Structure 1
């Protein structure tokens, strides 16, 4: 049997590629329009090409030539995990991300041209809620009418797949090779919690806000102001939030006066005995969600955020700034979830061939 191989569109820093590779599938290439991702991708995804390209301008024939791809190849997997801010439920300005709403439609061009054995799409749940507008309805219809059986498309929580984080993701897996539904393989045993991966016992020495780690481990955390230091000191260990300093007139934020019920996760600490909340691109900031360390008075470090996304401790992140690397980590598909997808495809493929 030939080995399965994959092309990862919108590969970013390689979370999906790494997990798929760990499952035993060869990664031919990762495609992204952000040059900042190249060094991280190439440092971790062995044997794969990084292709710098904007999918709106990339031609199917160019990719065919560059990677020597064949049409109707039963062993080929095309993966599309497009940036998804436009479809996110988070109430942000959508003008910057408006172009991204058509990325699924652009990705489907390549699927229709190559007709690979397998197709994987991963995105925010919002793409399913608005499946007409996002192009998902048309894409699923095309897959069903062109030999891809009944595609699996559902929202999963990655915490069910070995990731120590509660993160809901839309996932589509379709196959032209086997007609059985392919679902990511769940991990057996207890679900992973923050205490299973963070803390001194898991290799994370105690550090102060502003600590810089110049090694590849990147246990680096941004500095905070003196008033924010005071706020964090007042927040209960293990799950406290901004309400713990709300009655202190010096520390209470004016924007929250009389609004105790809104944005309670702001300045919130993680709980040791729960999965982390969704790790966003702003996880290194104490004011952008529940991203304060459960015990220490600081935000999560770069390596801690990556670990909660299930990147291995040896994964090398290259970037020009903390914010740049945090964005790459927050946008990533958790590698353990990607591995669960890859293992499910291999299992069905072996039975079908």
Structure 2
């Protein structure tokens, strides 16, 4: 979609560009994306050629950087600052506490730029845990916004399967504005949820492939390989929603760590359902041992392109990376493009 030449955005913690892509689809001019991850640069710039990737640690980036470099002036009513900071600290699947501590206060660093530029709009997306964790930075951030004149603040936890994204992906969303008289609203829920069969399968352009398939084209219908024992496990897992319980009584296939724990980690080694949303696409979606990431009927985990499609990246979005893991990281960490587009539309329509 062509830019409406009115709203502009800077996308902090942009990663591979999911939020930027969606905002551009809504007609918003994304000036720049900021991220510390050098692996994201080529992917971001290739797919978003009108946006500049700034590789920087937000903690060390000067507040006036965008004013000096891109002539961004404070108090621009049509400027959107986006802060979808990494969320390991607040995630229920967090495993590395020490590493995750680095993500705990990133919103405080983002608030420094909000204070300097006082943009018309603020947009934040994060995990639901940011609302419930007793050590959350959210109360500080909300008080900071109010102190800076952002009286119009709306936020809620949404299930993205109700917003055109075929995942049971629950996320905290916030839109704030300092402009009075706006009709600020979250995107409207769909009347039906989005489900897998409307996005994946041969009818949607995904030919059948085996585990370990290497697709060297930009489509990247690539899958991780499976060991012989895991091939046996996935072949014994019932199509369309089967689980590891299908072979729990087979001593050759059962894993010792799961003996007597049928009610724990039930999604591990499971298959997705055609008629349901996918589970949350994580950075490990290419591995059947890391969740319910098995294809509904083929004996493999979902491919990189299938994961990207479930994150609603366009099928011509090219991931410029050197490994399955690096690609999956960019995909799993992204804000789904379709939800980002709807957030952008909500901001554009707030003063109509």
The verdict on a shared fold, with TM-score over 0.5 as the criterion, is yes
Structure 1 partner of 2:35: 32
For residue 127 of structure 1, give the secondary structure of its aligned residue in structure 2.
Answer: helix
Report the CA distance between 1:250 and its aligned residue: 0.5
For the residues of structure 1 that align with 2:66 and 2:79, how far apart are their CA atoms?
13
Structure 1 residues 181 and 89: CA distance shift in structure 2, 3 A: farther
Deviations 1:15-41 (A, max 9, x none): 000001100110000000111101110
For residue 18 of structure 1, give the secondary structure of its aligned residue in structure 2.
Answer: helix
When normalised by structure 2's length, the TM-score is 0.96
Bigger Cα displacement from structure 2, 202-211 vs 43-52: 43-52
Structure 2 partner of 1:273: 275
Structure 1 partner of 2:177: 175
Structure 1 residues 2 and 178: CA distance shift in structure 2, 3 A: farther
Bigger Cα displacement from structure 2, 8-17 vs 157-166: 157-166
Alignment of 1:210-289 (within 5 A): 210-289=212-291
Pairing 1:303–2:305 present = yes
Report the CA distance between 1:63 and its aligned residue: 2.6
* The one of 114, 118, 121 aligned to 1:115: 118
Structure 2 partner of 1:328: 330
For the residues of structure 1 that align with 2:281 and 2:181, how far apart are their CA atoms?
35
Deviations 1:120-173 (A, max 9, x none): 11111111113x633211221222233322311111111111001110111110
CA RMSD, 1 decimal: 1.3
For residue 105 of structure 2, give the secondary structure of its aligned residue in structure 1.
Answer: helix
Bigger Cα displacement from structure 2, 51-60 vs 63-72: 63-72
For residue 285 of structure 2, give the secondary structure of its aligned residue in structure 1.
Answer: coil
Bigger Cα displacement from structure 2, 172-181 vs 68-77: 172-181
Report the CA distance between 1:338 and its aligned residue: 0.4
Report the CA distance between 1:66 and its aligned residue: 1.4
For residue 77 of structure 1, give the secondary structure of its aligned residue in structure 2.
Answer: strand
Q: Which stretches in structure 2 are left out of the alignment for 5+ residues?
A: none
For the residues of structure 2 that align with 1:323 and 1:206, how far apart are their CA atoms?
22
Structure 1 partner of 2:167: 165
For residue 212 of structure 1, give the secondary structure of its aligned residue in structure 2.
Answer: coil
For the Cα contact (< 8 Å) 1:10–1:31, is it kept in 2? yes
Report the CA distance between 1:2 and its aligned residue: 5.8
Aligned length, in residue pairs: 349
For the residues of structure 1 that align with 2:272 and 2:5, how far apart are their CA atoms?
45
Structure 2 partner of 1:149: 151
Structure 1 residues 181 and 156: CA distance shift in structure 2, 3 A: farther
For residue 96 of structure 1, give the secondary structure of its aligned residue in structure 2.
Answer: helix
Pairing 1:19–2:25 present = no
